[in-house]
Each structure stands twice: as structure tokens, then as C-alpha cells.
Structure 1
Amino acid sequence: MTGTGKAENSETPTDRQRRVWNKIAPSYDRQIAFVEKIQFGGGREWLGARAHGRLLEVAIGTGRSLPHYPPDITVTGVDLSPAMLDIARQHARALGRAVDLHEGDAEHLPFPDASFDTVVCALSLCSIPDPATAIAEMKRVLVPGGRLLLLDHIGSTWPPIHGAQWLLERITIRAAGEHFTRRQLPLVRAAGFQVVETVRLKAGTVERVHAVKPG
């Protein structure tokens, strides 16, 4: 028992995220389908409509955005969880879509500078341990003028809902590293992106961001 406790205590936030996502991968699509329809409906279509060129999806998960990308773009995906990537491969094959998938950390993307025209991150910055570092990495791998497209749940603009989100976080941060009161837009601006378009929905709990890396 003592040895197990030491092992758990030495687990890094990134290791924990990999463990959590590997565990839930087999049931993820079934669990998230209803939530996406009600809370994030149209979000992945919004991302796909703005994607172009060489695209990298950070934290691609099971590949739920793949059906919404234009057929003339090249898609690369990276995810921390090999179990999630296995399902993404199955989805790509079913769609007849060539996708280059890599196991990797959003905070240390395994790609050279200026490799992509578009970087997408959907429903993932809420649980990436250091979102500011991840956004800096997304900027690094974008070409000058490249597009950053984000979709996520964020802290509500309505105090009663924000308070409920804060209470929920007391459980979800410890269990799965998931935050409900984060907001990514200030981090995008702090990283030096030019914000082109933002949309807030669902009492301010959902945000879509389209930003550009300066040329």
C-alpha cells in the first residue's frame, strides 16, 4: 500500500491526464455525444469552416472533428493518449480520410517551427495542465499568418453559473484535471495572436476563438 501511494504521489499532471484519457477512451464517444449536441452544437462545424491548408489538431482525441474538415486540406493530429489515437485511426479509416497521427504532449509539440497553416484545439485546453504553454506551442508551429481555432467551455459571465462551475471544479480538477472557470482568450492575446473573431454562447460558458499569428 505504501509503495502504491508513493507511485501515485509522484505522478505528474501530464501522466495523470494520459492515464485518465486512456481509461475513458473506449466510452468517450458515447458519453460526449449528447453533451456536444446540447452544449457545443455547431462548434466543430464552425472550426471546419475556417480550417485551411496544412492543419494540426492538438488533442485530437477520438477524431470527432474529422468529418467537418474540408477534403482538400491535409490533417495531422497529436494526442497524449494512445488509446484515444487508436479510435481516431478507426474513425479516419471509416471516413476514408488520410490523417497523420502522433502521440505527444500539447505543451511540447513534436513538430518543427512554422509547420502548419491552421492549428485547431477543441474541448481540450480546459484540461491541459499548462494552457499558456500549449498556446505558445501552437503559435510556434504555425506559419506567419496561420490560423488558431479554439472551441472550449469556459467560466460563465453569469455569477450564479460561474459559482456552480467553481464548485464543480473542486471535484473535476482533482479527479481528471478538468477546469470549468478557465478562459482561453486572454492567453491567446497574451501570446501575441491577433484575434479575428470570438463567439460566446450558453450564458457565456462556451467560447469559439479564431486568431491569427502575426506575419
Structure 2
Amino acid sequence: MTGETAISRQRRFWDRAAPSYDRQIALFEKIQFGGGREWLGARARGRVLEVAIGTGRNLPHYPADAEITGIELSPAMLGFAEQRATDLGRAVNLREGDAERLSFADASFDTVVCALSLCTIPDPAAAIGEMRRVLVPGGRLLLLDHIGSTWPPIRAAQWLLERITIPAVGEHFTRRQLPLVEAAGFRIVEVERLKAGTVERIHAIKPA
């Protein structure tokens, strides 16, 4: 589509994908990312912002006393997240938004979560910078994503796959978020790299 930006292209893609997303991701998520959402939820505290909340698949795993806000680029995905929150009986502040330009004041949240989304955000460094800005000093950054494998044959296959996925939907398979988190000035608390190095969980702290 002539003149379409990366953001508008992604919004259009995820709006189309929203009705079938949960069904399509469920098995893949169980095999590739099993336990990841529980890992995020166990570390979230206080006022939580989930960036790119999607259909709300993390919502069942947050502590009962956490105050959840979620932003999402796709209105259709946001509609499914709202329904999930209703089904769970959970009060969640959901709004349409762009990860690279968060519409919140500095130091608004105790925890920021982003799961399986920095792989598609056009400027992940900008998004991480925004996550840092809205965190209180001492606040937690919790990330889960697929990244470039430590095993060369798998990484080569990921690179080939990107020749299709980057132009089509902006999805990267060889990115790694950890260097961007470190460059943004976070203190790394935990890093777990799993599945031949293709999955990474990061728990970092914004210095006080």
C-alpha cells in the first residue's frame, strides 16, 4: 500500500490476525515459550504497564493486587484483551497506543512488561527508552521474546525466514534485546536464554 508507514502496516496486519491469534499461537507458545508468561507474572509488582498487550494472554498470570494498564497498537487485538479481562473479572485499563511514544508521565509505573513484541516494534531501542522513562526509579522491566539462536544452523534459518517476515509484517528473528536494555542504563537482575538460545527472558531494574 503506497505511502503506508511501518506502524500503520503493522496495525492493519494485527487487526486482521486478531480473531485467529489465540488459536494459532497456543501450540507454538506451549512448545517454544512454555512457562514464560508465568515467569513474567511472578515478577510483576504494583502499577504494571504491559506494552503491546495483544489479546491479553498475560492477564491470568499477574498478581491479584497488581494494577494493570495495557497498551496495544491494534484496536482489534485490544477488543479481545478487553473480553479476556471481563471473563477473568479483572479491572484493567486498556488503551490504544504506540510503544515508541507512550502517553504516560515519567515515573508512572512500578513494572513494565513486554512479551513477544519487541521482535516486531520498528524501533525497539526507542520503545525500551520509553519503558525506562515511565518506570519509577527502582522499577522493574520484564521482557520475553524470541531472538537469534546461539546455534549457527538455526540462526541461518532465522535469517532466511526474516527475508519474508520483515518486509511482510516487520517481524525479526535475529534481534536480541539485551544489548538495548543494557545501553538504556538498566541494571540486569536475571537473564534466561532457552531453546537453543532462541528465547530470552530478561528482568532488569531502572537505577534509583
Give identity over the alignment, percent. 77
Report SS of the residue matched to 2:85: helix
Give the aligned partner of residue 71 of structure 1. Answer: 64
Distance in structure 2 (CA, Å) of the matches to 1:130 and 1:9: 21
- Counterpart mapping for 1:53-132 below 5 A: 53-132=46-125
**Quick check: 1:36 aligned with 2:29?**
yes
- Aligned pair count reads 208
* Per-residue CA distance 1:82-105 (angstroms, 9 max, x = gap): 000000000000000000001000
**Backbone CA RMSD of aligned residues:** 0.4
Q: Is the aligned partner of 1:194 residue 2:167?
A: no
The whole-number CA distance in structure 1 between the counterparts of 2:180 and 2:190 is 15
In structure 2, runs of 5+ residues without a counterpart are none
Q: AA paired with 1:132?
A: A
For normalisation by structure 2, the TM-score amounts to 0.99
Q: Name the CA distance, whole Å, in 2 between partners of 1:128 and 1:192.
A: 20
Task: Give 4+ residue runs of structure 1 displaced > 3 Å after superposition.
Answer: none
Amino acid of the structure 2 residue aligned with 1:25: A
**Shift of the alpha carbon at 1:9?**
2.5
Query: Which one has a bigger Cα radius of gyration?
Result: 1
* Aligned mates of 1:140, 1:15 — CA distance in 2: 24
Aligned counterpart, 2:167? 174
2:2 corresponds, among 2, 5, 9, to: 9
Q: 2:39 aligns with which of 15, 27, 46?
A: 46
Question: 1:110 and 1:31 mapped to 2: Cα distance?
Answer: 31
Alpha-carbon distance in 2 for matches of 1:79, 1:17: 11
Distance 1:9 1:166 in 2: 26
Q: 1:148-194 CA deviation, whole Å, 9 max, x = no partner?
A: 00000000011110000000000011111100000000000000000
Letter in 2 for 1:64: R
